[in-house]
Amino acid sequence: MLSIQRLINFPVGPKRALRATDSAFLNNPHFISKRARDDADPSCNDTITPQYLADLYRYSDYTPLFAPSNKLGVLGFNHQVAQKSDVAAFLAEYAPGKTDETSRCIVALGGTCLQRGKPGSEIVKSYETNLDVEYAMSASYPSNTILYQFGGALEINWLNWLLAQNDLPQTLSISFGISEKAYSKREAKKLCNRYAQLGTRGVSVLVASGDDGVGLEDDE
């Protein structure tokens, strides 16, 4: 029986005192992009483009070895649906040579893949999910990108739905989030167990830290 340990102790060397770092240095906009300064287009200091990210993390020349079988899952909620016309326009301008032919949309738990101009599409928005899919595809192409649209489903419900599927992506990307204060300790443990089950099936889950970083949230 497979079990997941709550704590893993790694051997460490002698303890050393931490030295405070000058906050002015950390806040310097060139600090994070230091590795990319010599490679990236100077205009990227003002705009984060797919090419800028590729230069920063040095994967411009990387080609996936098993692209046809690779799958990246992007999760969408609240009737925010990536619009094919927007994604195609984004890729054409910022990631030439890459197309949305390797993407598809799967609907579950009240979600929708409606595109503009279709009956009922007046409820559809595209802001965040458009952004998620555009940057995911520009980074992972030619691997397959799957957009899972879950509507306003509760986290425990869409996790259960994913776990019930026989075929899962190797990686799931989630940019939407909710404050931890919304969950009780019991509910949080249930969610953690579901994510752990995804891990035992070989799925890596990437979750955004929020617009204001880990531990912070909007006043709203």
Other beta carbons within 10 Å of 42: 7
Convert the pLDDT of each residue in 2-28 to its tens digit.
Answer: 444 444 343 444 433 333 333 443 344
* Residue 149 bridge partners (DSSP): 76, 107
Calpha distance 81→175 (Å, rounded): 13
Q: Which of 215, 78, 210, 82 is nearest to 154 (CA)?
A: 78
Which of the given ranges, 2-6, 152-156, 210-214, has the highest pLDDT on average? Answer: 152-156
Task: Report the pLDDT averaged over residues 151-158.
Answer: 87
To the nearest whole number, what is the mean pLDDT of the chain? 76
- pTM, whole model, 2 decimals? 0.73
Tell me which of 207 and 30 has the higher pLDDT: 207
Smallest CA-to-CA distance from 72 within 166, 167, 137, 128 is with 137
Alpha helices in the chain (DSSP H): 23-26, 29-32, 50-56, 84-94, 127-140, 155-163, 185-200
Q: In this predicted model, what pLDDT tens digit does every residue of 31-50 receive, in sequence order?
A: 444 444 555 566 666 778 88
Percent of the chain exceeding pLDDT 90 equals 23
> What does CATH list as the number for 70-207?
3.40.50.200
pLDDT computed for residue 19 by the predictor: 35
pLDDT at 81 over 50: yes
Which position has the token pair 């890729």? 91
Listed by start position, the domains of the chain span: 70-207
pLDDT tens profile 183-207: 899 999 999 999 999 999 999 999 8
Q: Crossing angle, helix 155-163 and helix 185-200, to 10 degrees?
A: 20
Q: How far is CA 26 from CA 21, 113, 190, 194, in A?
A: 8, 41, 37, 36
Q: What's the confidence (pLDDT) of residue 16?
A: 37
Using the predicted structure, report yes or no on whether residue 118 has a pLDDT greater than 50.
yes
